[in-house]
């Protein structure tokens, strides 16, 4: 089977996940809206499934603050959203020249690229201004699709946007959320990356340790 497209995960695949920095920003957001920082961080993590497909940034802050006994003013919610978006912009810009060169090399060889990401709504909103965006012909962000990996709908949204079949695609990801098994289940060939995090060490096969290795792996 000739494969003509590459579907990428985003965080811990193209850019670092920066989990510690995310929690630090959440603590600052909690202070802005007047709730306990540790409780806010914990509630934020626990509501990951809702934030993936249902809640926007402002809605998330209002819901979580309300659950923790606060009713922040609109200005406080807006400031907290700004903090979250500033972090999102920074994370999306944290892409190495080597990764950009690898993506450009794949495109030069005729591969079409798409993104399939489990993420919150603000990342999807910030994506068009990122240095990565111009390299991708299509995106499938979970809040826009209404489904998250490993749900088949997430992968098929990306392949449909490219106009290809799953069995014509490679999937490249670190393995969070069971994404590698999900990609294989819809017929994609899977490559695991460990450049930023060894998320799914039990996945069979040799991983790539940097995206610069992809061109050689894809033949």
Domain boundary at 35, 58, 92, which? 92
Both 152 and 128 in one domain: the answer is yes
Domain span at 194: 5-16+95-217
Cβ neighbourhood burial of 155 (10 Å; 0-12, 13-18, 19+): buried
pLDDT tens track of the chain, all 219 residues? 689 999 999 999 999 999 899 999 999 999 999 999 999 999 999 999 999 998 999 999 999 999 999 999 999 999 999 999 999 999 999 999 999 999 999 999 999 999 999 999 999 999 999 999 999 999 999 999 999 999 999 999 999 999 999 999 999 999 999 999 999 999 999 999 999 999 999 999 999 999 999 988 886
Cα gap 42→31, rounded to integer Å: 14
What is residue 216's predicted lDDT score, i.e. its pLDDT? Answer: 85
Taken in order 37, 28, 120, 8, is the CA torsion positive or negative? negative
Burial state string for 89-126 with b = 16 or more CB within 10 A and e = fewer than 16: eebbeebeeebbebbeebeeeebbbbbbbbbbbbbbbb
What is residue 219's predicted lDDT score, i.e. its pLDDT? Answer: 67
The domain total for the chain is: 2
Q: Provide the 10 A C-beta neighbour count for residue 6.
A: 23
CATH number at residue 134: 3.40.50.1000
Give the single-character DSSP code of 178. G
């Amino acid at each position: 089977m000739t494969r003509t497209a590459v579907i990428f995960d985003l965080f811990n695949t193209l850019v670092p996940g920066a989990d510690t920095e995310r929690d630090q920003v959440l603590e600052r957001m909690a202070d802005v809206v007047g709730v306990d920082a540790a409780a806010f961080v914990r509630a934020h993590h626990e509501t990951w499934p809702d934030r993936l497909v249902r809640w926007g940034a402002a809605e998330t802050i209002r819901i979580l603050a309300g659950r923790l006994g606060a009713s922040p003013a609109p200005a406080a919610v807006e400031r907290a959203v700004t903090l979250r978006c500033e972090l999102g912009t920074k994370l999306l810009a944290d892409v190495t020249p080597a990764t950009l060169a690898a993506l450009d090399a794949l495109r030069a060889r005729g591969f079409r690229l798409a993104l399939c990401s489990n993420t919150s709504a603000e990342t999807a909103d910030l994506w068009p201004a990122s240095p990565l965006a111009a390299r991708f012909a299509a995106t499938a962000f979970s809040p826009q699709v209404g489904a998250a990996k490993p749900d088949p709908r997430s992968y098929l949204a990306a392949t449909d946007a490219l106009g290809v079949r799953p069995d014509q695609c490679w999937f490249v990801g670190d393995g969070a959320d069971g994404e590698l098994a999900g990609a294989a289940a819809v017929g994609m060939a899977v490559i695991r990356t460990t450049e930023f995090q060894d998320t799914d060490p039990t996945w069979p096969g040799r991983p790539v340790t940097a995206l610069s290795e992809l061109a050689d792996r894809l033949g």
